[in-house]
Amino acid sequence: MSQDAQPVRSLRLVMVVLAFSCGATVANLYYPQPLLDEISRAFSVSQGAAALVVTLTQLGYAAGMALLMPLGDLLENRGLAARTLVFTTIALVVAGLSPVFGVFLAASVLIGITSVVAQILIPYAAHLAPEEQRGRFVGTVMTGLLLGILLARTVSSLIAEAWGWRTIYLVSAGLMLLVAAAVVRLLPRREPGHDVRYPHLMRSILTLAREEPALRRRAACQALMFGAFSAFWTTVAFELTGRHGLTQTGVGIFALVGAAGAAAAPVAGRLGDRGYGQVASGVALALGAAAMVLADVGVGSLVVLAAAGVLLDLAVQGHQVLSQREIYGLRADARARINTVFMTTIFVGGAAASAIAGAVYDLAGWTGSSLFGAALPVLGLAIWTWSRVRARRGAHTGLTPVG
């Protein structure tokens, strides 16, 4: 074997470990979505109250991105990830054994906070990869992340059908320990180059949000898109089990429609590279709204409901890729902090939408929650339209628009 072959092979192993770790960790956010009906019965709470599990998990994730993710610029990355995963394991065990709903909700918050390891490992992958291969290797890690998101609902449904809904939390707890061990044993150390203090780093994040209007716009629009996504997947399980009489296995199979969203990422990336990013973003926002309306009018048909889920996932994933392509070009030296602003905003939006969708579902059923979800991309489309109008005005006057 040549001297160069071994480092390449070792790097490939590292990237596979990173991809699996990201997917397994981020899946913790999505395991509860198809289980809400069973959770509501187990704790004798309303369906709207059960939806708080999704809300608080996502809020925890947003808090983790805001408070823990910047530590990747200060602390040794491998150790930070492994230690955080130990707390994820503890939180998952508590959730799986919770005797009362309040304890379960508190554990859900901690699961969300510590699952931010997935977002710590993505820039870590970018640092480890050779510059000429960075895109390919980071793409590999992102594929693992996306598969974790897409398969989590199916896996949790199938495990719940076989062994009960609590089992997925205990299985994931064991998996997190394995991931922590793999991170320590197989990944190289990486000491960050920054020597600033944590408070200064946090202040610089706020400065970025204030000084970059494109970042604010992209974060707001994607938060609205993710809000529609969260509204759909938080409440659709109630319709699948109630209206259509599906078992947990059936819900898990239905959740596989989300895998179609993976096809949007490379297409959106190519459109952005060819200069169609702004137009494609508007199309994605419109498609998201149309998908939610289709979900409302076609709820009586599993085929139509699945088609709506496919369209929504395509719109959300495509818009996110287009957004990231734009914002990562703003400041090359601050991509991790830009990602903190972007992803934190998205998950705050998703958490709020989950809570509102659950409450609306209790009051107005599927029609109320689906039309609420449709209104969110429409608002994003209004923001996109306003930004395009201002850009054209700026082009005509020779001035750079500020938003």
Yes or no: say if 220 and 54 are a contact pair by the CB < 8 Å rule.
Answer: no
Reported confidence tier of residue 311, pLDDT bands at 50, 70, 90: very high
pLDDT at 141 (0 to 100): 74
Number of Cβ atoms within 10 Å of the Cβ of 24: 24
Reported confidence tier of residue 290, pLDDT bands at 50, 70, 90: very high
pLDDT at 185 exceeding the cut of 60: yes
Reported confidence tier of residue 318, pLDDT bands at 50, 70, 90: confident
Q: Which residue has the higher pLDDT, 240 or 266?
A: 240
CA distance 328 to 331: 7
133 sits in which H/E element:
none
CA distance 175 to 88: 10
Reported confidence tier of residue 2, pLDDT bands at 50, 70, 90: very low
Yes or no: say if 215 and 343 are a contact pair by the CB < 8 Å rule.
Answer: no
- In order of 29, 42, 91, 157, the CA distances from 66 in angstroms are 16, 33, 19, 30
Yes or no: say if 61 and 115 are a contact pair by the CB < 8 Å rule.
Answer: yes
Q: Kindly state the DSSP code that residue 153 receives in the 8-state scheme.
A: H
Yes or no: say if 355 and 55 are a contact pair by the CB < 8 Å rule.
Answer: yes
pLDDT at 296 (0 to 100): 95
pLDDT at 166 exceeding the cut of 60: yes
Put residue 278 in one of left, alpha, beta given phi > 0 → left and psi -120 to 50 → alpha: alpha
pLDDT at 4 exceeding the cut of 50: no
Phi, psi of 345 (to 5 degrees): -60, -40
CA distance 211 to 231: 31
255 sits in which H/E element:
helix 248-255
Q: Report, as an integer, the average pLDDT of 327-333.
A: 74
What are the DSSP calls for 257-281, one per residue?
GGGGGGGHHHHHHHHHHTT-HHHHH
pLDDT at 265 (0 to 100): 63
The residue with tokens 């939390």 is 169
